[in-house]
Structure 1
Amino acid sequence: MFPTTSYINRRNNLRKEMSSGLLLFPGNQECSFNYLANTYSFRQDSTFSYFFGLDHPDFAGVIDLESGKDYIFGNDVDMDDIIWMGPQPTVEEQAKKVGVTNTAPLANLEAFIKDALQKGRKVHFLPPYRAETMIQLEQWLGIHHSQLKKAVSMELTHAVIKLRSVKDLLEIAEVESMVDVAYKMHTTAMKMAYPGIKEQVITGTIEGISLSYGGPVSFPVILSVNGQTLHNHNHDNILKEGQMLLVDAGAESALHYASDITRTCPVGGKFNQRQKEIYEIVLAANLNAFAATKPGTPYRDCHTIAAETIAQGLKDLGIMKGDVKEAVANGAHAMFLPHGLGHMLGLDVHDMESFGQIYVGYDDEFRPSEQFGTAFLRFGRKLEPGFMVTNEPGIYFIPELIDQWKSEGKFTEFINYDKVETYKDFGGIRIEDDILVTETGSRVLGTPIPKTVAEVEAIMAK
């Protein structure tokens, strides 16, 4: 847990962004796995964690803008709980750790909210993403769950996005510690990537590293020799010589801050010439986009730089042709890069995605593209100091997409389909770093994870 003053300051900063009313922050509940008492590991709601810091199910926080009071509603444990879990601190004791002195049982929250509503006060809440929370909000607010989306407070949504987007030194250190855990995960995966090993064995090993040094993985591990499938969670393949292993994985801290790293390595420890050529293009895209990442630069421009680097590199190999800028402007590069450069990172691996990409990654000046590929850029607005973003360009040879575009005669002025056909067995390569925007530029977070051809081959040789 961060110092008490961190949570007090966050709530006070939020007050400055809001006009009037109650700010309601439901914490998460336990979520059953396959029967009621067998639950998944508890994960607190990120925004409740940001403002109230308590990692306990069935809590709710309220900020009263008029009275200046903060509240935590939750239940103390009973004897049955103590028998199974041991003694637990009271709600009052927990609340004091985050600077809250007003507490009450969770059952009292409904009457508290309805009293405010009867007095004509506004109750602000954020977009819910769990069914259990929707049911709670329906009960507390009297709004049918199907209508909650319409009643979400945009004033609160924009205020929370503004505050959570800029990371302080404590948050930066927390994320950086999880990048260091990701270093252990990814270098271990590289050392294990040899013929005869099953993907699942590597997956389980690196998940164990995350649990040993941080917490659970920050998202389900993506690990596959079929890297052309962007989010491939099938781990059934046996590694073979000549394949590439793509690993996209990160760790989550006890305070729920995430890392998100991707590396791609050659099975057996040595890149062949074809693999090296494509890898070097992706690496150049990663480095060129990073060099452009600084305050005031729209991240959409960094995406374009990565896309043009990829198009130029593929043109040099005879896979693409024509004018590079024109090819990217028309979206021809998206056959090989069908996603955006990156997203925000923090308490969520896709930070604040539940609020809506249109509000987190864009603003009135910068709007999402409707073009295939670039439409999946989750973050396009201007960068500011304290922002954390991922930088994750890739090149993928997706046989089904190649066949579709070829049959449609799409972008024949920019794509050499005869050459592309010879890469349909290649798979995909992605290289991803976690980036902090600084006052003067940006820096890659954490211990440097092997990224160049020489670094990857060297760590795999150990």
Structure 2
Amino acid sequence: KTRVGGTEAELAGIVEGIALSGGNGVSFPVILSQHGETLHNHNHHLTLEEGRLLLIDMGAENGMNYCSDNTRTIPVSGKFTPKQAAIYQIVYDANMAGIAACKPGIYFRDVHEIAVTIITKGLQELGLMKGDVAESVKAGAHALFMPHGLGHQMGLDVHDMEDFGEDNVGYDETISRSPIFGWGSLRMAKELRPGHVVTVEPGIYFVPHLIEIWKRENKFSQFLNYDKIDEYVGFGGIRVEDDVLITETGHRVLGKPIPKSIAEVEAIVGSEPLT
């Protein structure tokens, strides 16, 4: 039902209605915005515009109060521009690799590293980043584009048990929080075990104020091509998120498949009548 000229508020209302009619409503306030670069943006006040990206992050609670949390990013006009498609593909690849890495015994911090390494390599191919990939990731240069962690635990709360404190839930005696920007934002870093449910939600965001600050400080200039990055100011943000159950032998993505590849997303946007 996404159409140029429609509104974010209309779509947010549709999403909330579906969640309420099928269960106990949304599991957190809907994030639905053409300003996807603003994390946890709950404003829905804009008209849908040609050429913009729409980030939709929402979840529902079932009858037993268990939560879901999924994100898709779609082109308002129904087709990604070449620039949008290139960034989307990097995020998609990071999402798929992150999911594939989930299994008992691996630290979620290492899954995060797999995802941000793919993001770093992809942005290097586009000319936005440069230098040694491993050193760039270790330093946290990628956090200009993805300042958050790869995901969080989920259960009866969408960020499960985090009222006890992230350090008590996402970390344990074997791993502590990093002081490095980006790395320190991981809500979940500890070893994955059967029964854990985690989100895998890589993203790439072009946050104008953050870019301005880092550029002024010449931060990580050995890894970042600021002249090229400036061409993406106003791009917005892209995130792709799925819910993953850790099983005895690996993982299982929860829920019915939601269109995710570029071809799948473009095929569904605007495919349903408005009434």
Q: Smaller-chain TM-score range?
A: over 0.9
Q: Distance in 2 between matches of 1:398 and 1:430?
A: 14
1:195 equivalenced with 2:4 (yes/no): yes
- Select the structure that is richer in helix: 1
1:418 equivalenced with 2:236 (yes/no): no
Whether contact under 8 Å (1:308, 1:325) holds in the other structure is: yes
Structure 1 counterpart of 2:195:
386
Give 1:143-292 correspondences, 5 Å limit. Answer: 192-292=1-101
Whether contact under 8 Å (1:340, 1:378) holds in the other structure is: yes
Structure 1 counterpart of 2:133:
324
- Percent of aligned positions with the same letter in both sequences? 58
SS of 1:194's equivalent?
A: coil
Whether contact under 8 Å (2:205, 2:236) holds in the other structure is: yes
Structure 2 counterpart of 1:447:
256
TM (norm. structure 1) is 0.58
Structure 1 counterpart of 2:175:
366
Opposite residue 249 of structure 2, the aligned amino acid is: T
SS of 1:255's equivalent?
A: coil
Q: Distance in 2 between matches of 1:300 and 1:443?
A: 19
1:351 equivalenced with 2:160 (yes/no): yes
Q: Distance in 2 between matches of 1:268 and 1:359?
A: 44
Whether contact under 8 Å (1:264, 1:430) holds in the other structure is: yes
Q: Distance in 2 between matches of 1:370 and 1:347?
A: 29
Deviations 1:402-438 (A, max 9, x none): 0000000100000000000000010000000000001
SS of 2:71's equivalent?
A: strand
Which residue of 294, 302, 305 maps to 2:103?
294
Whether contact under 8 Å (1:260, 1:390) holds in the other structure is: yes
Instruction: Choose between structure 1 and 2 for higher RCO, CA contacts under 8 A separated by at least 6 residues.
Output: 2
Whether contact under 8 Å (2:94, 2:202) holds in the other structure is: yes
SS of 1:245's equivalent?
A: strand
1:433 equivalenced with 2:242 (yes/no): yes
Opposite residue 302 of structure 1, the aligned amino acid is: V
1:312 equivalenced with 2:121 (yes/no): yes
Which residue of 185, 192, 216 maps to 1:376?
185
SS of 1:271's equivalent?
A: coil
SS of 1:302's equivalent?
A: helix
Deviation at 1:461, TM superposition (A): 4.9
> Runs of at least 4 residues of structure 1 off by over 2 A?
none
Q: Distance in 2 between matches of 1:253 and 1:449?
A: 18
Whether contact under 8 Å (1:344, 1:390) holds in the other structure is: yes
Deviation at 1:376, TM superposition (A): 1.3
Long gaps (5+) in structure 2 = none
Q: Distance in 2 between matches of 1:409 and 1:348?
A: 40
Q: Distance in 2 between matches of 1:217 and 1:211?
A: 7
Whether contact under 8 Å (1:193, 1:245) holds in the other structure is: no
Whether contact under 8 Å (2:2, 2:270) holds in the other structure is: no
1:340 equivalenced with 2:149 (yes/no): yes
Q: Distance in 2 between matches of 1:443 and 1:276?
A: 27
SS of 2:214's equivalent?
A: helix
Q: Distance in 2 between matches of 1:244 and 1:221?
A: 16
Long gaps (5+) in structure 1 = 1-191
Deviations 1:4-61 (A, max 9, x none): xxxxxxxxxxxxxxxxxxxxxxxxxxxxxxxxxxxxxxxxxxxxxxxxxxxxxxxxxx
Deviation at 1:255, TM superposition (A): 2.0
SS of 1:265's equivalent?
A: strand
